[in-house]
Structure 1
Amino acid sequence: MTSEPLIHLPTEIVVQIVADVATDKSAQKSLYACCLVSRQWYSCTITFLYENPQLGTGNSFTKFTNTICPPIGVRKSRWNLGSLVHRLDLSALVHHSSPSLTARLLGKVKDNLEVLLAPRTSFASNSLPSLSKCLKLRFLDLSLVASPMLFKDLKKSLSSLEDLRTLRLPQSTSVMESDSFNIPWPPHLRRLQFSGHFLAAPMRTFPWPPSLTTLTLKNCADLSLTNLSSLMCSPDLSRTLKRLTISGQNRHLSADSITSILAMVPELSFLSIPGDMVDGTFFELLCHIGIPTLEVLEFGYPSVDSEVYFTTESLLKALDYGLPNLRAVGFAEIFCSDEDSLDDDAVDDFLLKRAEMRKWLQPGAGTADPGVYYV
């Protein structure tokens, strides 16, 4: 009795099969199984297996680090597996790692790493030298990092990352002195999440990234009117900034702080603010000064409570007189949950009618999802 001959699949077919498997969110186990089929399947699968490793459950992180950067005395793979890693999400790690291990791991994956989400407790100053060598990094999220580090040291480690486009600073960021101001930002940084402690006086001369278009203020220790005004007073910032988000996760926010934004950054196309920090004065100023460039206005999750302190009528008046090109309004669903809350249907009708008129007057206008949406 003879066994049937094995069917050989062309390598390009195997690659296509593996690529389809890799699109599944729980593909890690399946990709590992594909590596065990044959040498051909291993060579086709290994890049997919390590491109975006899933490390948030069980002992997966320990297995991964033992393979990528094995302890002394353990046999190393002949493959440079660290160079296959493009995305590294360590945000789910709590006690799985240590600062020294994180530093070693970054040193192993530096060649092609493009996205890094840092862990809370095991990223520290000793990781910065390795981070500075990740020259292909495009997205860096340090927002969970709790270990304090000097802001000037962080900027030095990032200044050579020419491909970095998005940066989220640590909650522990402390900009208390101006000794870091002369250190250049990554040259093509466009999106920044600013967090931590800062003093009003030094921030009046704070040099923002020259190509910055998107700014998020989150986990700031003090966004009182004085501090926020100092933070946002840069003429360069008002010239380049197009998208601004002020999260409800900031301390000492007030309605006055939020209203002051309208005069500081007059050329925004997107503005997101905590809905409970907006009052009638905000819309009165909007009607007076106007922001013709604004296309999206978002009333995000509250800072303190779930109430709003403005009326639907005041919002509609601002849409009519101060926001001629606004096409969409976003609401946190908590503000539209009962009959006594905002009349989001009236706002939606207003925006849809405006879009129809613009579409009729200007062919092609008003086609980018006008109306109300929920966040």
Structure 2
Amino acid sequence: MPSSRHIYLPTEIVVQIVSYVAVDELGRQKTLYTCCLISRQWYSAAIALLYERPQVISGISFKRFTETISPPIGTRKNTLNLGSFVHRLNLSHLVHHSSNSLTARLLGRIKENLEVFIAPTLTFSINSLPALSKCANLRHLDLALVHEAIPFTNLKQSISRLPKLVTLRLPQSTILTDPESSKIPWPPSLQRLQISGRFNPLLIPTFTWPQSLTSLTLKNCSLLSLANLSSLLSSPQLGESLKRLTISGANRGLTLDSINAIPAFLPNLTFLSIPGDMVEESFFFILSHTFPPLALEVLEFGLPCAELKLNFTTKTFLGALDNGLESLRSVGFAEELVTDQRLEEDEGIDEILQERNKRRRSQPGAESQDDEEIVGVYYI
């Protein structure tokens, strides 16, 4: 006759089991919830992981989450501070499922240990900034989907003292050259920045960059003419510190001359991604006469601005490899730009880059190479 007695497991074993469960991203939420229902012991082992990065992908899940984390006034509250368990919150799937006040209140409840926050489209507003300013452990802040116009000065003020913030993506409605904003410091540890929004051409010279910036993305910007882009990128500090630059095809006002100016201002880049149709023969002609050679290791021709074609020949590209692109080890093409002829020509490019990489690695004193680094041609 089977025994009805429960088998006791040491808490350390239960914690180990739950930690294995948490690795499975697809079934993580449901399984951890089930673990919490087994017993008090299992609840104490699983509850923190259950709320660490909640999956809030629908109106129903958001309602349940907010009612638990931030219950209505007058209702019975959980003795545990469940909001302190939240480390990552992605609200990008939500549209009309919240309100400005509810999002602000929710941020206030989870501020203690929040590390990653991806804001919703319609319900993140200036009301959320006071709570945001208290998220002292925040490392990644993504406001790229935010629709409401938030004054850049107010936003910058609220994040200026977040000591651990490394990555920031700004809203599309940002007016970046507000004179008052230049007086406010950037977060001290900010390294990766995505800029979206509008510039006042007359005030671009007043724009200041984060001191520790190493990666910059320009996406959904307006007025990226040669003069404006050159003025933005001509900062000596940026020329020294910036290692990665991505210019999306989703920008307005970008010209061929704008792209040609990049190597002159940013010779220390190791990664450059630019719209494939905004590069022409003159870009590689400039690189062929660039000395000393650029530090560039990865060059991507990303999604185009308008035309689904490349405006340069493989011969011209190869001509720059022995001059300004001596350090290049890989080149990427957006799949939308790939044709049968492109595939054939890419085989030749790939062979040259692979062979050159072998020679480089065989030289005395050559630095060891990360096995995950891509060498040759790849598609994005």
Q: What's the TM-score once normalised by structure 1's chain length? A: 0.97
Structure-2 change in CA distance of 1:21 and 1:365 (3 Å): closer
**CA offsets, 1:250-278, max 9 Å, x none?**
11111111111111111111111011100
Deviates more, 1:102-111 or 1:12-21: 12-21
**CA offsets, 1:299-319, max 9 Å, x none?**
111111211000011111111
One-letter amino acid of the counterpart of residue 313, structure 1: K
Instruction: Measure the CA separation in 2 of the matches of 1:341 and 1:251.
Output: 30
Aligned equivalent of 1:196: 197
Match of 2:355 among 329, 353, 356: 353
Is the Cα contact below 8 Å between 2:299 and 2:330 reproduced in 1?
Answer: yes
Q: Is 2:277 the partner of 1:276?
A: yes
Aligned residues: 375
- Stretches of structure 2 that go unaligned for 5 or more consecutive residues are none
Deviation at 1:205, TM superposition (A): 2.6
Deviation at 1:366, TM superposition (A): 5.7
SS at the partner of 1:298? strand
Aligned equivalent of 1:211: 212
Aligned equivalent of 1:372: 377
Is the Cα contact below 8 Å between 1:272 and 1:300 reproduced in 2?
Answer: yes
Deviates more, 1:54-63 or 1:111-120: 54-63
One-letter amino acid of the counterpart of residue 273, structure 2: S
Deviation at 1:56, TM superposition (A): 0.6
Aligned equivalent of 1:90: 91
Structure-2 change in CA distance of 1:232 and 1:2 (3 Å): closer
Deviation at 1:162, TM superposition (A): 0.6
Is the Cα contact below 8 Å between 1:311 and 1:342 reproduced in 2?
Answer: no
One-letter amino acid of the counterpart of residue 234, structure 2: C
Superposition pairs for residues 93-112 of structure 1, below 5 Å? 93-112=94-113
Deviates more, 1:328-337 or 1:237-246: 328-337
Instruction: Measure the CA separation in 2 of the matches of 1:16 and 1:24.
Output: 14
Structure-2 change in CA distance of 1:76 and 1:346 (3 Å): same
Instruction: Measure the CA separation in 2 of the matches of 1:159 and 1:40.
Output: 42
Superposition pairs for residues 95-244 of structure 1, below 5 Å? 95-244=96-245
Aligned equivalent of 2:330: 328
One-letter amino acid of the counterpart of residue 171, structure 1: Q
**CA offsets, 1:303-359, max 9 Å, x none?**
112110000111111112211111111111222232267711111111001011112
Aligned equivalent of 1:22: 22
Instruction: Measure the CA separation in 2 of the matches of 1:30 and 1:306.
Output: 45
One-letter amino acid of the counterpart of residue 23, structure 2: T
Deviates more, 1:13-22 or 1:285-294: 285-294
Instruction: Measure the CA separation in 2 of the matches of 1:302 and 1:199.
Output: 25
SS at the partner of 1:181? helix
Is the Cα contact below 8 Å between 1:149 and 1:172 reproduced in 2?
Answer: yes
Deviation at 1:4, TM superposition (A): 3.9
Instruction: Measure the CA separation in 1 of the matches of 2:154 and 2:344.
Output: 47
Deviation at 1:5, TM superposition (A): 2.3
SS at the partner of 2:340? coil
Deviates more, 1:289-298 or 1:211-220: 289-298
Structure-2 change in CA distance of 1:77 and 1:245 (3 Å): same
SS at the partner of 2:3? coil
Instruction: Measure the CA separation in 1 of the matches of 2:126 and 2:348.
Output: 52
Q: Is 2:312 the partner of 1:307?
A: no
Is the Cα contact below 8 Å between 1:200 and 1:231 reproduced in 2?
Answer: no
State the percentage of identical aligned residues: 57
**CA offsets, 1:49-106, max 9 Å, x none?**
0000000135000000000001112211111000000000011111111110000000
Aligned equivalent of 2:11: 11
Instruction: Measure the CA separation in 1 of the matches of 2:202 and 2:238.
Output: 17
Deviation at 1:220, TM superposition (A): 0.3
Deviation at 1:222, TM superposition (A): 1.8
Instruction: Measure the CA separation in 2 of the matches of 1:289 and 1:364.
Output: 24
Is the Cα contact below 8 Å between 2:177 and 2:207 reproduced in 1?
Answer: no
- Stretches of structure 1 that go unaligned for 5 or more consecutive residues are none
Deviation at 1:183, TM superposition (A): 0.3
Instruction: Measure the CA separation in 2 of the matches of 1:344 and 1:335.
Output: 12
Instruction: Measure the CA separation in 2 of the matches of 1:112 and 1:150.
Output: 26
SS at the partner of 1:321? coil
Q: What's the TM-score once normalised by structure 2's chain length? A: 0.95
Instruction: Measure the CA separation in 1 of the matches of 2:232 and 2:35.
Output: 52
Is the Cα contact below 8 Å between 1:336 and 1:344 reproduced in 2?
Answer: no
Structure-2 change in CA distance of 1:16 and 1:343 (3 Å): same
Instruction: Measure the CA separation in 2 of the matches of 1:175 and 1:194.
Output: 8
Is the Cα contact below 8 Å between 2:290 and 2:323 reproduced in 1?
Answer: no
One-letter amino acid of the counterpart of residue 242, structure 2: L
Which runs of at least 4 in structure 1 moved beyond 4 Å after TM superposition? 363-367
Match of 2:319 among 317, 320, 324: 317
Is the Cα contact below 8 Å between 1:168 and 1:192 reproduced in 2?
Answer: yes
Is the Cα contact below 8 Å between 1:195 and 1:220 reproduced in 2?
Answer: yes
Deviation at 1:175, TM superposition (A): 2.3
